[in-house]
Amino acid sequence: MEINELLQNAFLSEWDRLSSRNVTPYLNLIRENFAIINVRNRINENIRSSSDKTLRERYHRHNLNELARLYARTLYQVSNSGANINEAIIRQAKMQMKSEKMCDTYPC
């Protein structure tokens, strides 16, 4: 399953709902701060070993959409409504999600 586009679309959709500020210049920086390759590998392994691959993929798509939306909301809050986005703020939003056990299903 290709997750980069899925995560990006869900994140941008939620961000656009929250803010009129353009976050696209920060997408690569956001991506670099997450273990997306590890997430993809874990999901693909889980899907391959499942007896119902379609159902399993649907389950992961739903969870990833929710996770990306949650990160957009967290980043929005931590970055003063999107006014202050930089690498430290991106990491702070990620650490907040981790400390509040919001991303236990996938490594972030």
The predicted-structure confidence for 15-70, as pLDDT tens digits, reads as follows: 999 999 999 999 989 888 877 777 888 888 888 899 998 998 898 888 889 889 99
**Torsion sign, CA atoms 2, 28, 107, 90:** negative
Q: Where are the alpha helices (DSSP H) in the chain?
A: 4-18, 27-32, 36-48, 53-78, 87-99
Task: Evaluate if residue 13 carries a pLDDT over 90.
Answer: yes
Short-list 68, 69, 94, CA closest to 79: 94
Instruction: Indicate the range of 63-67, 76-80, 87-91 predicted with least confidence.
Output: 63-67
Distance from C-alpha of 108 to C-alpha of 94, rounded to nearest angstrom = 7
* Rounded average pLDDT over 5-14: 92
Short-list 36, 23, 1, 3, CA closest to 78: 23
Task: Evaluate if residue 79 carries a pLDDT over 90.
Answer: yes
Residues 6+ apart with CB under 8 A from 31: 4
* pLDDT value for 63: 87
Task: Evaluate if residue 97 carries a pLDDT over 80.
Answer: yes
**DSSP 8-state secondary structure symbol assigned to residue 24:** G
* pLDDT value for 105: 60
Band of residue 106 on the pLDDT scale cut at 50, 70, 90: low
